[in-house]
Amino acid sequence: MQSGTPKMMARVLACLCISDAASLTASELVQRLQVSPASVSKAIAFLEEQGLVRRERDERRRERYFVDDDVWYQSMMASARGTAQVAETARQGVGILHPGTPAATRLENIARFLDFVSESITRAAEQAREVLHTKPATTSDDTARPRPERG
């Protein structure tokens, strides 16, 4: 991946998030970001691969790119799954090494730590998911954050 690509992905994702239309075409992204079509194409491809952006064809058969409200939840869940996979790999390493050795103990501690982190991310994402679908409270100063009901 080129050094400028992560920044471009962030710019594309931000542009999609702040679009009132809730979607943009590649040419609209190129125009708004003042970048090359190739840059947008690479960023979109990576974001799609990560499940952060989806594409649909509109009535004029143009591809439009969307960021769903649930994308942040899905991103956190993917992170939790990836962390759990690393924990499982560490656990498998314990079996390969001689149990009780310093290296095996280190891997076992890593696995337990990553299990805890993965479970924490999953729990937090599930608890916070409703925030993505909560309308902000209206106040006179417009600084209120949405506060979902606890149930």
Evaluate if pTM is beyond 0.85: no
DSSP H/E element including 134: none
Q: Is 1.20.120.1750 the CATH number for 5-66? A: no
Beta bridge mates, 64: 25, 56
How far is residue 125's CA from residue 75's CA, in Å, rounded to a whole number? 9
Residue ranges for the chain with pLDDT beneath 50: 1-3, 150-151
